[in-house]
Chains A and B, each alone.
Chain A
Amino acid sequence: MTNTSLRLRAGLVSIVLLAAFLGIWHLATRSTGTVATMSPEYAKLMGLTATQGKSAMPGPLDVGAKLWEHLRRPFYDNGPNDKGLGIQLVYSIARVGAGYLLAVLVAIPLGFIIGMSPLLSKALDPFIQVLKPISPLAWMPLALYTIKDSSISAIFVIFICSIWPMLLNTVFGVAGVRKEWINVARTLEVGTLRRAFTVILPAAAPTILTGMRISIGIAWLVIVAAEMLVGGTGIGYFVWNEWNNLSITNVIIAILLIGIVGMLLDQILARFTRMVTFPE
């Protein structure tokens, strides 16, 4: 009862805040009437910004209209520099998915081995500590030089940025499995492989999934920057291309969509995390 009313009130506050934001945005960017008289030809050249005092920043109504246009035709393809937003997002999500899945395939088994072996854990620690803080984009020239394919280089950058949180969390989760659970498996003469799957994996799963959730967030942050660099397709390239076109409206729409997709990716991983979390 109190819980639902809290949710209701919070929702109301959210709507009020959104309305206030849109209102202020609208007021700040509206036309203020003619500013200067000028020759009609010059005015034509200058556009509405000069003739009607309209802000160069699009208002919420412009963005809304443009967004509606995009949503109606998300998958059109008019050549390399004019593709629907849906296509661009699919490209970005596919790149993130490929790099991320590769990272999962490497980080989780590797993390398992490192976590179960104190020797490897200590031996590999300096390498991980050095490699982890490297900005993923710093790898880009090296990737482009060795791989010689911009699209695969972008996937590699996603791979390298999402591997560390997963690797470290898997190591941490596996090494931190409660001794008594391991002892239960030992007294039951459970073999190493069965122990890994029936005791260590479920015990470490919440920590591993948390690492995966951090990774998907970072991967989505990095893909925009990576695509700005490699170009061609993707939402990051779209942002840069629209900036070159001086279409601030499209840039704002892209920002909004990047946020929404990022939130959805995070929510999917959050749901998986909840599925494997156990109460103690």
Chain B
Amino acid sequence: MTEKFISIEAIARRYPGAGGATIAVFENLWLSMARGEFACAIGHSGCGKTTVLNILAGLDAPSEGAVIVDGQAISGTSLDRAVIFQSHALLPWRTVLGNVGYAVSSKWRSWDRARVKAHAQTYIDLVGLTGSEHKRPSELSGGMKQRVGIARALSITPKIMLMDEPFSALDALTRGTLQDEVRRICLETGQTAFMITHDVDEAIYLADKIFLMTNGPGAVLAEVVENPLPKDRGRTDLHRHPLYYALRNHIIDFLVSRSKNFAAEKPDHDPRNVPVVHIGKPGLTIAVSGDEQRQTRIPGASPGMTA
């Protein structure tokens, strides 16, 4: 929290509702991220996660407040902020190379054809699609399409990657591989990334920081959970880490019960100073011991014990 690379300051988004009333998706939302951080936003449908992402992308504008990226207030879309869409959003009349090349030539308009092609090819290779450059999206599987979406977003070397549930339409196996790819690429390139997800395990695997949002309308950012797992975590032994279940249970408890009546339970919630939760460290905002005891009560069920 030392350097605020992205700072969302007091944004609100309201829609005109029935009978002249206005419906606020959220009010007075504050959120910040450091450079190189990977953050996930979790919450139920309708809590305004996608609205936050669209505002960050510049596709939507807040009714109030401002978003500051790298020291500048944003207005509208920018090539600095790449979006990976949930539905991949590839242009079906273009090939893989054509789709990535379209992004490349949009960013570097003076580049000649060969240079655009070479640059696009680098990113197609990076996501493991070498050999499929001349296929059209209709000839690709869902996972491959999303790889093209990732290559397209990365090819413009953005400051931030914004991902709107990028893997939710994929089968579990493909989703796992793509998560590995995204994690590898983000770690290698030091990419700042903001992802929306419904999948708790995806958030734990990928994110450094998890934003928990309450149910909308009138959603608030309830907590920021710091991921206590080591940076070099791997998919296979993730669940063996002693703090894994504490973290997971905390998030699931929030989604199951606390997200519904958060506003009633915490009337003094200050949206500007959202509590940061460090699981497993002393002096915490929440008592984590209860969760850990719950784990250890079940003999053999805790992977930490069996290891």
Q: A residues near B, CB below 8 A?
A: 178, 180-181, 183-184, 186-190, 198-199, 202-203, 276, 278-280
- Report A-chain residues with C-beta under 8 Å of the C-beta of B77: 186-189
How far, in whole Å, are A184 and B98 apart by their CA atoms in the complex? 14
B106 in the interface (beta carbon within 8 A):
yes
Partner of A180, one of B79, B87, B93, B107: B87
Q: Among A186, A199, A203, find the residue whose CB has the most chain B CB atoms closer than 10 A.
A: A186
Q: Report A-chain residues with C-beta under 8 Å of the C-beta of B89.
A: 178, 180-181, 183-184
- Partner of B59 from A183, A189, A279 at Cβ < 8 Å: A183
Chain A residues contacting B107 (CB-CB under 8 Å) are: 188
Complex CA–CA separation, A180 to B85 (angstroms) = 8
B78 contacts A by Cβ under 8 Å: yes
Taking Cβ atoms with an 8 Å cutoff, the residues of B that contact A are 57-59, 77-79, 81-83, 85, 87, 89, 91-93, 102-103, 106-107, 136-138, 156
**B103→A199 contact, CB < 8 A:** no
Q: Which residue of A lies closest to B139 (CB)?
A: A279
Taking a contact as CB atoms under 8 Å apart, the answer to whether B92 and A184 are in contact is no
Interchain CB contact under 8 A, B138 and A184: no
A181 near B57: Cβ-Cβ < 8 Å? no
Minimum C-beta distance from A98 to chain B (A): 31
Residue among A183, A188, A189, A202 making CB contact with B93, cutoff 8 Å: A202
Contact at A188–B136, with CB atoms within 8 Å? no
A-B contact count (CB 8 A): 55
Task: Determine if A188 and B138 form an interchain contact, defined as CB atoms under 8 angstroms apart.
Answer: no
Taking A180-B87, A187-B59, A280-B137 as given, write out 10 further A-B residue pairs in contact, using a Cβ cutoff of 8 Å, ordered by the A residue number. Answer: A183-B89, A186-B58, A186-B59, A190-B106, A202-B91, A202-B93, A278-B92, A278-B138, A279-B136, A280-B92
B92 touches which one: A186, A188, A198, A279 (CB < 8 A)?
A279
Chain B residue, CB-CB nearest to A276 = B93
> In the assembly, what is the distance between CA of A84 and CA of B93, in Å?
46
- Cα distance A119–B67 in the bound complex, in angstroms: 31
**Do A188 and B106 touch (CB < 8 A)?**
yes
Q: Which residues of B contact A199 (CB under 8 A)?
A: 91
Most B CB contacts (10 A, CB to CB) among A184, A190, A198, A280 go to A184
Expressed in whole angstroms, the Cα–Cα distance for A279 and B140 within the complex equals: 12
Query: How far is B79's CA from A146's CA once the two chains are assembled, in angstroms?
Result: 55
Are A189 and B106 in contact, CB atoms less than 8 angstroms apart?
A: yes
Cross-chain contact B92 with A183 (CB below 8 angstroms):
no
Chain B residues whose CB sits within 8 angstroms of the CB of A187 once the complex forms: 57-59, 77-79, 81-83
